[in-house]
C-alpha cells in the first residue's frame, strides 16, 4: 500500500489547483477523501487560507465529510463502519504512544514494548487479528 502515497500527493495537489480555480466544493471533496483514506490528506486543510470563499469551503468540507462517512454504510452496517473508524483511531493513538514512550527492543526479534503498535508478518498471520495493533507480544522473563 506504500504506492498509494503518490495518489494522496496527487489529491493534495489537485485540491490546491481546484481552490485556485475557485472550485472549493470539489477541492473539499478531494481533501475529505484523502483524509478518510490516509491521514496525510489532512494537509489539504492548509489550503483554507488560499480559498476566496471560506464559508462555502467549510460547508463543503462538512458536507463531504458526512457524505463520505455515510457512503460505505450503503453496502455494510453502520456499526461496522463506525467500528472500523474506531479501530483506525485506536491504531493511530497506539502508534503515537509508541513514538512518545521509551521503548526497549530485543535485538534478536525486534519486539517493541510499552504500547508499541508492532508485530512481525508471521505474528500477524498466526494471530488472526483484524488490526495489527491489537497484537502485543508478552514480556519475556528476565
What pLDDT is attached to residue 110? 46
Interval 79-91 mean pLDDT: 87
Residue 88 near residue 72, CB atoms below 8 Å: no
Residue 25 pLDDT > 70:
yes
- Tens of pLDDT, residues 59-76: 999 999 999 999 988 998
Q: Return the ∠ at Cα 19 (arms to 67 and 37), rounded to 5°.
A: 40
What pLDDT is attached to residue 141? 52
When pLDDT is cut at 50, 70 and 90, the band that residue 133 belongs to is: low
C-alpha separations of 96 from 9, 41, 114 in Å:
23, 18, 12
Residue 114 pLDDT > 70:
no
Cell triple for 88: 483506525
When pLDDT is cut at 50, 70 and 90, the band that residue 107 belongs to is: very low
Residue 39 near residue 72, CB atoms below 8 Å: no
Please give the DSSP secondary-structure letter assigned to residue 76: S
Q: Find cell 490516509 and name the residue.
A: 38
Amino acid at each position: 500500500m506504500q504506492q498509494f502515497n503518490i495518489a494522496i500527493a496527487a489529491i493534495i495537489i489537485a485540491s490546491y489547483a481546484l481552490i485556485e480555480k475557485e472550485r472549493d466544493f470539489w477541492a473539499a471533496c478531494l481533501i475529505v477523501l484523502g483524509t478518510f483514506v490516509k491521514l496525510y490528506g489532512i494537509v489539504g486543510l492548509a489550503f483554507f487560507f488560499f480559498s476566496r470563499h471560506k464559508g462555502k469551503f467549510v460547508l463543503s468540507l462538512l458536507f463531504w465529510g458526512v457524505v463520505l462517512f455515510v457512503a460505505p454504510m450503503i453496502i455494510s452496517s453502520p456499526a461496522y463502519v463506525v467500528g472500523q473508524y474506531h479501530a483506525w483511531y485506536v491504531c493511530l493513538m497506539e502508534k503515537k504512544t509508541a513514538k512518545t514512550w521509551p521503548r526497549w527492543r530485543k535485538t534478536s526479534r525486534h519486539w517493541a514494548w510499552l504500547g508499541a503498535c508492532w508485530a512481525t508478518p508471521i505474528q500477524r498471520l498466526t494471530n488472526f487479528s483484524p488490526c495489527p495493533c491489537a497484537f502485543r507480544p508478552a514480556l519475556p522473563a528476565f
